[in-house]
Amino acid sequence: MEDFHACINVRSDDGSVKIKGTRTFQNTSVGFKELIQWVLGRKKDDCTLSFVMEATGVYYEDLADFLYSSKEQVSVVLANKIKNYAKSINVKTKTDKVDSKIIADFGMERKLDTWKPMSPVYKESRDFCRELLSIKKEMTRAKNQKHAMIKSHGKSEIILNFKNDQITFYENSIKNIIKELRRIVEMDPQLKEKLNKVQTIPGIGFETAVILASETNGFELFKSIRQLVSYAGLDIEFKESGKFKGKTRITKRGNSCIRQALFMPALAATNHNESIKALYERVCERNPNIKKKGVIAGMRKLLIFAYVIWKKDEEYDKSHVWC
């Protein structure tokens, strides 16, 4: 994202909200400084200043970090919340300028949590973890392509060798990334101890534990299990109106990296984790034709296990009665 649009809203003494200006800035350090000067030039001395922005991938991070370093109050709102707010006030036009006004209005109406930057160790590990997940996805695709090539008629050996080289590259990259992740963890004894306790959960290994920790900033982003589950997009939505009976499904409006990291561990946990296995069987009994629902329920439960163990700083106890 090369630039961003800003809108200033000011609350008058009578409670009404007025727009004091809109402008586009470059998404660079120069643009950030211009934003501060522009805002301060329109701010009244007795006004409290707060910056609100939408979480647009990673493009908001530099600006948010700049404002935080400048001792400004910053709040970052998930995109789906802004989208739902726009629907609630019947805004149908979507442009950067309109979006900036909606975000400013949202910030004036709601009491928002203050944003804080990720811890450096979690930021570094998150970058490696996301690259790891991306490469694993590409390697799976390459292996499927190789399988199709082998089964196809008259496929060139040269092309097949290219595909083998590609898979070898992915495998070596995965080994190197995991090596770097272990190096990062070894440098932080407290993090290492926490991750070791999370790995006592049957089904969760080193990679999954690191991904969960890095994607949640050590679970500091959340005050409750409900918030965490929603952030991961593993919360359930159900549509029902009158005689219409909809189907239950997860929202998927959340962190896709967490969902990707939990799928295979949850699949393994259906055989090796008694609590997850019992949950999987109950869900599959109710949905015999959609067994994937049982795996998704396992994903959600594994995430909750990791959160509780991290917060309590304890090892997993299989005799504990989990609700």
- Tell me the residue range of the domain where 291 lies: 195-323
**210 contacts: CB under 8 Å, gap ≥ 6:** 125, 129, 181, 185, 195
Residue 321 lies in a domain: yes
Report how far residue 170's alpha carbon sits from residue 147's, in angstroms, rounded to the nearest whole number.
16
Number of domains in the chain: 3
- pLDDT (tens, 9 = 90+) of the chain, 323 residues, equals 789 999 999 888 777 888 889 999 999 999 999 999 999 888 877 788 999 999 877 889 999 999 999 999 999 988 878 888 998 989 888 888 999 999 999 999 888 989 989 899 999 999 999 999 999 999 999 999 999 998 888 888 899 999 999 999 999 999 999 999 999 999 999 999 999 999 999 999 999 999 999 999 999 878 899 889 988 988 876 555 555 455 666 666 778 999 999 999 999 999 989 999 999 999 988 888 788 889 999 999 999 999 999 999 999 987 776 55
Of the three residues 145, 166, 187, the one that is the final residue of a domain is 187
Residue 253 lies in a domain: yes
Of the three residues 76, 109, 142, the one that is the final residue of a domain is 109
Can you give the pLDDT at residue 244? 46
Residue 122 lies in a domain: no
Kindly state the tokens that stand for 168: 């070898």
Same domain assignment for residues 290 and 171: no
Same domain assignment for residues 98 and 135: no
Q: What backbone phi and psi angles, to 5 degrees, belong to 3?
A: -145, 175
Same domain assignment for residues 93 and 69: yes
Residue 316 lies in a domain: yes
**60 contacts: CB under 8 Å, gap ≥ 6:** 53, 54, 76
Same domain assignment for residues 222 and 243: yes
Residue 121 lies in a domain: no
> Helices 206-215 and 256-272, interaxial angle, to 10°?
140
Same domain assignment for residues 44 and 60: yes
Same domain assignment for residues 91 and 139: no
Can you give the pLDDT at residue 318? 79
Q: How many CB atoms lie within 10 A of CB 16?
A: 8
Same domain assignment for residues 291 and 233: yes
Same domain assignment for residues 175 and 211: no
Domain at 81, CATH number: 3.30.420
Of the three residues 54, 80, 109, the one that is the final residue of a domain is 109
Can you give the pLDDT at residue 92? 84
Residue 47 lies in a domain: yes
Entry field: residues in the chain: 323
Residue 135 lies in a domain: yes
Same domain assignment for residues 182 and 207: no
Same domain assignment for residues 267 and 284: yes
Residue 88 lies in a domain: yes
Report how far residue 310's alpha carbon sits from residue 118's, in angstroms, rounded to the nearest whole number.
17
Same domain assignment for residues 136 and 231: no
Q: Model-level pTM?
A: 0.82
